[in-house]
Amino acid sequence: MNTKDIDVMVISPLPEKMLAELGELFTLHNYWLASDKASFLEKTAKSIKGVVTRSHLGIDAQMINSLPSLEVISIFGVGLDAVDLNAARERNIIVAHTPRVLSECVADTALGLMLNVSRRFSLADRFSRSGDWLKAPFPAATRMHGKICGIAGLGHVGHAVATRAQAFGMPIHYFDPYLQDDHFKRYPTLTELARSCDFLVLTLPGGADTFRIVDSNVLNALGNTGFLINVARGSIVDTEALIAALKNNVISGAGLDVFEDEPNIPAPLCQFDNVVLLPHLASNTVETRQEMADLAVNNIRGYFESGEVLTPAR
């Protein structure tokens, strides 16, 4: 089926190859490139039938409602927290995203952060480069294997973290309000999970239900031998509470791939030697980004060719 006369708007930058593929399939309108967004919308809004956007930028109700012909939103990414799903539902607009294809890479990153904060690899790298090794040996760090891995959110990513942590001999404890897996020890609250574990790994979805649920109570429960790992969304953690906890040695350290106001990282976080900071790279490998791109393109193509997307948001 020829889809070339269908108008599709791209809201955020996308991988070059993916953009080229979309450009071959549809008439593309690159909102993200427009310097005057208002006049761009005035000219194009009426005819736009499909939107492609990245998960952490999403699409809000105002934008959805400014596109009267919109039928489908394809998200490059799994997170739905930045998409106004209610506004889409009200108009029967289909929303698709890219679950599963990125779970393994995100879990790899979680394990990398766990090892890095406990064994202090980033700090040791700075220590080695600076010549400090010539002055004194690097101090002993904390063992990871055998410690308790607490997973908040036992979806695909949470399970992939569990598989890896088990290979390190780590018992798995978890908190998930909806999902259950009897192989692992379940806790009814996040605070109880934090109290029980050595590494608290966040793999929950972002959004109103999880907004800043990692607060000072949870951090106190994690305690001064515990590490916080966030590969989910910055919004899940109360950043001020985390900074205070690090300042007062309430927790032992943190490994963070995501932040409340990305790409802005609060300056105090950069001061701590027991914190490892990453620029939201968990899914960012060549292979996984290609699989995400293929799925996001096939979702929007599938919708216009057969009326169905492969991986709808539920």
Give the residues lining the site for ligand 8YV (CB under 6 A): 54-56, 76-79, 102, 280, 283
Q: In whole angstroms, how close is the CB of 150 to ligand 8YV at the nearest point?
A: 21
Q: In whole angstroms, how close is the CB of 229 to ligand 8YV at the nearest point?
A: 15
- Residue 98 CA to residue 119 CA, distance in Å, equals 33
Which residue, 196 or 311, is less far from ligand 8YV as judged by CB?
A: 311
Could you tell me which of 209, 230, 208 has the C-alpha nearest to residue 219?
Answer: 230
Please tell me which residue in 233, 260, 289, 301 is annotated as part of the active site: 233
Please tell me which residue in 212, 240, 280, 291 is annotated as part of the active site: 280
Active site residue 126: no
Cβ count near 178 (within 10 Å): 7
Query: Angle of helix 16-25 relative to helix 286-306, nearest 10 degrees?
Result: 10
Please tell me which residue in 90, 262, 287, 305 is annotated as part of the active site: 262
Q: In whole angstroms, how close is the CB of 273 to ligand 8YV at the nearest point?
A: 26
B/e letters for 7-46, b = 16+ CB within 10 Å, e = fewer, are: bbbbbbebeeebbebbeebbbbbbbeeeeeeeebbeebbe
- Residue 184 CA to residue 173 CA, distance in Å, equals 6
Query: Angle of helix 121-130 relative to helix 103-119, nearest 10 degrees?
Result: 60
Q: Return the residue matching tokens 């293929």.
A: 294
What sign does the CA torsion over 67, 72, 75, 80 have?
positive
CB 273 within 8 A of CB 257: no
Active site residue 56: no
Q: In whole angstroms, how close is the CB of 80 to ligand 8YV at the nearest point?
A: 8
Which residue, 194 or 276, is less far from ligand 8YV as judged by CB?
A: 276
Q: In whole angstroms, how close is the CB of 243 to ligand 8YV at the nearest point?
A: 23
Give Dmax (Cα) for the chain.
70
CB 163 within 8 A of CB 107: yes
Active site residue 120: no
Q: In whole angstroms, how close is the CB of 53 to ligand 8YV at the nearest point?
A: 8
CA distances from 207 to 5, 79, 96, 188, 194 (A): 35, 9, 17, 20, 21
- Residue 255 CA to residue 246 CA, distance in Å, equals 12
| Residues identified as active-site | 233, 262, 280
